[in-house]
Amino acid sequence: MFVFALLVLSNVVFPASPAVLVTQPVPSDTVVITEWEVPWERSRPRDPIVDGDGNVWFVGQRGNYIAMLDPGSGEFTRYEIPEGALPHNIIVGPDGYLWYAGNGDSHIGRLDPKSSQIVRYDMPDPAARDPHTLQFAPDGSLWFTVQSGNMVGHMNPVAGRIEFVKVPIEQSRPYGIVVDESSRPWIVLFGTNHIATVDPKWMDLKLYPLPWEDARPRRLQLTPDGMIWYVDYARGTLGRLDPNSGDVSEWQTPGGSGSRPYAMAIDDQGRLWFVETGSDPNQFVGYDPTSGEFFSITAIPSGAGSVRHMVFDAPTRTVWFGTDANTIGRAVIPG
């Protein structure tokens, strides 16, 4: 069962004045961070993604918009979306459309940037009230978390069909999600000390408990060797789960137990990057699983307030993120 609607909103696109660039000098660890101030105040810009033309798309969760940044000119373009959507996450689909999570009013939306048309897919289960983080799979399907609804969602974008797998732990808060090469999703259950996965064929959910009751994993990544890496927001650690054996290892992050690691990305060398949000300014940290070293620590110039999600763009060797300081940030990382 699915519900969808086609919306064409008037005056959906308009250019903004160029942003103010906030740039720091080249630090000793060779990471260079540049931030663009978003022209819509206190709008919580977040979860940027880079399209095939190098444009950076992001959502304003509090501002209720989708926007595009041209990094070359510094200009922003804003796209209006349904009132009350409160978008949480945006990704570029294999079809070139922009897909966003309507966290505030229970829908997934698809934006055609050329026509400004929005196709809206409402959640078929009223309990799935807050689609959270979206991720496309290699098979073309769409997986997403439903945090307060306590579910993992799966969508066939062609048919518009949505189905859910319920998590058997109450208030587990499914949060960060990544999808492996076999189209299998991996999810951190932020309200618990568990990581979960779903068999894409049978839609069976499997739980991996972490050894510490007070662990609260929030984001995760997959390294080329098949290991699951996560950041523990509550305990200030970086962890690794071996999905074959269930073994778990952890490392204290440079900022210590109060570092509040949150956003996380992986580059084309298999190195992990995350942001410690417990410090002011937030710290952008690099970790190399091969050497076992935290090799890079860079302060985010605006302070950030909090960085919630980020992605690596291979063609430009950059990591992109949004901040609660109302900026979009770009980190140029070493080769």
19 pLDDT exceeds 60? no
Share of the chain above pLDDT 90, in %: 90
Residue 27: per-residue pLDDT = 43
269 pLDDT exceeds 90? yes
Q: State how far the alpha carbon of 60 is from the alpha carbons of 9, 64, 188, 277, 322, in Å.
A: 17, 5, 24, 19, 9
CA-nearest of 238, 332, 256 to 292 is 238
Residue 145 near residue 133 (C-beta atoms within 8 A): yes
Q: pTM higher than 0.85 for the full model?
A: yes
At 2, the pLDDT band (50, 70, 90 cuts) reads: very low
Write out pLDDT tens, residues 321-335.
Answer: 999 999 999 999 998
Residue 29: per-residue pLDDT = 57
**C-alpha 114: how far from its chain's center?**
24
3-state helix, strand and coil shares in percent for the chain, rounded to the nearest 5: 0, 50, 50
Residue 210: per-residue pLDDT = 97
Write out pLDDT tens, residues 53-112.
Answer: 999 999 999 999 999 999 999 999 999 999 999 999 999 999 899 999 999 999 999 999
Domains along the sequence of the chain with CATH? 3-332 (2.130.10.10)
Residue 3: per-residue pLDDT = 41
Q: Averaged over 204-209, what is the pLDDT?
A: 98
Average pLDDT, the chain: 92
Backbone angles phi, psi at 32, to 5 degrees: -115, 120
For the beta carbon of residue 249, count every other beta carbon within 10 angstroms. 12
Write out pLDDT tens, residues 137-189.
Answer: 999 999 999 999 999 999 999 999 999 999 999 999 999 999 999 999 999 99
Residue 260 near residue 268 (C-beta atoms within 8 A): no
Residue 335: per-residue pLDDT = 83
At 307, the pLDDT band (50, 70, 90 cuts) reads: very high
